[in-house]
A and B are shown apart, each in its own frame.
Chain A
């Protein structure tokens, strides 16, 4: 019944004699961090028992993870339940990866307040503590017409109302210096030095790992199916992996936050997925785009963006399509053509439509009917906090949202112990990323652990040691996508064609599972069907061919 085991997984911190802890405390994580024990299928796939907790966070996206970290500072039991096999699989995973300063957001709306409060200084400190790469590259709104210039003046005014005064309108020549590969017919640029980029998966993972290191528990493959209310208070949260009895429930379920909220009471809000499709370009174009570039709005689109990622790719998108299906992450030819023809080709004429495209993908924004963040207590039930409609600039607002939610938890959880943990750790073990090191540093790591010298992913030069680390981290990678997002193995131009079979082998050996149980991203996304020859020995089988 191995397949059952894969469905159920729990990550528990093991702080007693934990070498990560002392390393993190001294701030000198020089070595590959070795876990206290070999992580095997037996101890990461434990079944969740019925348990009490102070706070239960539903959803392991960037918001849930940031709140978990915030609350892990105190003597409070925190549990995250996540329905997928990894954290950061929904809206947090597939987006523009930009850190906005909020210059073009209505400062009176909640989302405006949140993004303005989460300043780049706060973000910088958080990223430094968590060893997350953040690049403050600035953004430019590229203008081609007088209308665009008028829009820029309006935006400068809006920014000033939001207290942002360092925007600058620049001319064609200044644009070409900043962006030499851009379409030379560009006439104006609205330059904003406050915008940044980071890898949202890296951040979410870091936040969740930090929470786990500080005592939070993460239950993966754990979907909430019902919430029981007794005497106008939360009684029990029923999941596919046990029953939880929390004092406070935080509903940060993203696309499904309306559904979770409605388990408790009638609600007047809803979430509809708004899909955006993206191109990710090969690293060979890495130096072509230096800032986050906003395209001017057109008749059919509100404007799109081209972003230089922290890893040296170029990300370009996205359109906006209202859908009904919250699971539809598919891309379409129509949208990809539109994004390319109206935006990418216009701004950077030399970027191709096909060929040196690393991948195309779609993300779903969790758009609420109010088009604003909705962060409020349940109206008729005590102990439930709903976070609904957290779409852009949700990533940029995360630390401010976590602050706000802490205040709300304090308001309803009066018997919770908000004493600060004296030994709270702000960081996490620094991941070994050989690509970011000098040759000398690398040599030292390989001398200590030869696995760092065995390259598995040749496009991104990722070693076996880094892949093993990902499987052994506080929140372990258990699938090809899990490895890919933590290490970039399989994220390069061959898209795992070369390293895929090798990573499958490492996963099977390290997790002690059968190769046919290795998945792309949990559920039924198995890579392999069966042993060779098994099918040939079976009777019958289908022989139907395509007939046109």
Chain B
């Protein structure tokens, strides 16, 4: 088995991995390796040929591949090593990474730090156990996106979409532009879970109906999908039998959630958050293993790639800081807790003094939509450290709040973020 040695191994060459590697390189780390399982850098952006990327980070509107190229060009111009078609099989306690590709075979990389940037996978029809037949023509929206945009083939002509996640909304428009008839989008929850702009641009503009509080109760078709039974759900989210109707279609696309892909992390003993299903991290995106960092959708699912980039740059700088021993730990780590109507907050703790960091951005999702609210960050004595007014908060849109670091005192142990009642 071939043996290599690097300072940082970045697992994943999507937007998160690229930004983290570039930033670590800028911070002075010399030997960096990116392992990418696809045939080239870019990750999922490769198949996201729609626009809307980069509005925050580049202040211009780019397509997915364009956004990816901004970074992959820089990586290629740098001395960061990239191995494509490379699957990381194992990250070992002794700081060795085992990976495989056709050229090198299995190889072992000794490293000082690892940055996890594996992204996420789509929740399946099987995992939410939609009953019925098991025909072809049921697939996740992202898989359909790959078939259409990369393979160049259309999965079906008469489409029903379950779930109002962003990929589902994007695919509603994509399939319509390809000539397919998208009959409607169903959402189990009483609110849309995707971004508002995607609902407007992908459904409303094309006359595609969105039915909230509805779900698919059964899939029909022995070989290929012939239709789905759909029904309204009650407040308990259980289908109301008398509302059930049959909708003929040949394809059911699912956009019912994304799950950070943390099997590697789990194996090496990284603690995971039950809500995000990503690692539990501090403000440097450092996990309970002090040499392992996580960023991007493997940490928590983002709405915007721009946020992924910012977070990953932070993780890249932090991994460099770890290697160079830059950061001094606080006397007490501060636990960041989700309070009223907050589903989760990343980071889950604050552990370091860093003079260069004037604010710490806390990323979160609310549990339920609310209008005209005040969001508060309070310390363990109930003192409000920061307050933010929001016109609207909803689970489909990540909120980020800037916490000024000067507000943090040495003996603070806990802060809570909540929507004020």
Chain A: residues with CB nearer than 8 A to chain B?
Answer: 279, 284, 327, 329-333, 336, 353-361, 439-440, 442-443, 446-447, 450-455, 458-459, 461, 480, 493-498, 500-501, 504-505, 515-516, 519-521, 523-538, 541-548
Contacts and interface: CB of A to CB of B under 8 A. Distances in A.
Given A501-B143, A524-B223, A546 B247 contact: yes
A142 to B, nearest CB: 24
Contacts of A458: 37, 87
B151 A505 contact: yes
B158 interface: yes
A454 B102 contact: yes
A223 to B, nearest CB: 15
Given A361-B134, A505-B151, A527-B136, A442 B224 contact: no
A519 B136 CA distance: 8
A328 to B, nearest CB: 8
B89 interface: yes
A541 B181 contact: yes
B249 to A, nearest CB: 9
A546 B37 contact: no
Interface string B59-88: 000000000000000000000000001010
Given A527-B137, A529-B250, 20 more contacts: A330-B133, A354-B129, A361-B134, A439-B1, A453-B104, A453-B106, A454-B102, A493-B121, A494-B121, A497-B142, A521-B136, A528-B151, A529-B153, A532-B148, A533-B179, A535-B178, A535-B180, A545-B209, A546-B184, A548-B211
Contacts of A493: 121, 124, 127
Nearest to A447: B105
Contacts of B184: 545-546
A529 B154 contact: yes
Interface string B139-154: 1101100111011111
B131 interface: yes
A536 B178 contact: yes
Contacts of A544: 181, 183
Contacts, number: 193
Interface of B is mostly: mixed
A506 to B, nearest CB: 12
A358 B123 CA distance: 10
A530 B158 CA distance: 13
Contacts of A359: 126
Interface residues of B, number: 70
A501 B126 contact: no
Interface string B220-260: 00111000001010000000000001010011000000000
Contacts of A327: 222
B42 interface: no
A535 to B, nearest CB: 3
A545 B184 CA distance: 6
Contacts of B385: none
A387 to B, nearest CB: 25
Interface of B: 1, 37, 85, 87, 89, 98, 100-106, 121-122, 124-129, 131-137, 139-140, 142-143, 146-148, 150-158, 160, 177-181, 183-184, 207-209, 211, 214, 217-218, 222-224, 230, 232, 245, 247, 250-251, 263, 266
B134 A501 contact: no
A355 B127 contact: yes
8 contacts: A329-B133, A450-B102, A453-B101, A453-B103, A461-B87, A515-B151, A541-B179, A542-B157
A536 B106 contact: no
Contacts of A505: 151
Nearest to B128: A354
| Closest 9 A/B residue pairs (Cβ) | A536-B179, A535-B179, A546-B184, A450-B102, A520-B136, A359-B126, A455-B87, A453-B102, A446-B105
Contacts of B139: 497, 500
A515 B105 CA distance: 30
A330 B100 contact: no
A274 to B, nearest CB: 18
Nearest to B249: A546
Contacts of A336: 129, 131
Nearest to B123: A355
Given A330-B132, A356-B127, A535-B154, A284 B1 contact: no
B121 A443 contact: no
Contacts of A537: 179
Contact of A455 (B37, B135, B137, B177): B37
Contacts of B146: 501
A224 to B, nearest CB: 20
Given A461-B87, A531-B152, A536-B177, A548 B131 contact: no
B178 A454 contact: no
A534 B131 contact: no
Contacts of B148: 532
A538 B179 contact: yes
B266 to A, nearest CB: 7
B126 A358 contact: yes
Contacts of A452: 102
Contact of B89 (A454, A461, A530, A545): A461
Contacts of B207: 545
A425 to B, nearest CB: 32
Nearest to A358: B126
B125 A495 contact: yes
A497 B184 CA distance: 22
A221 B146 CA distance: 31
B322 to A, nearest CB: 28
Contacts of B230: 546
Contacts of A535: 154, 157, 178-180
B138 to A, nearest CB: 10
A360 B129 contact: yes
Contacts of A355: 127-128
Nearest to A352: B127
Contacts of B180: 535
A467 B124 CA distance: 23
Contacts of B121: 493-494, 497-498
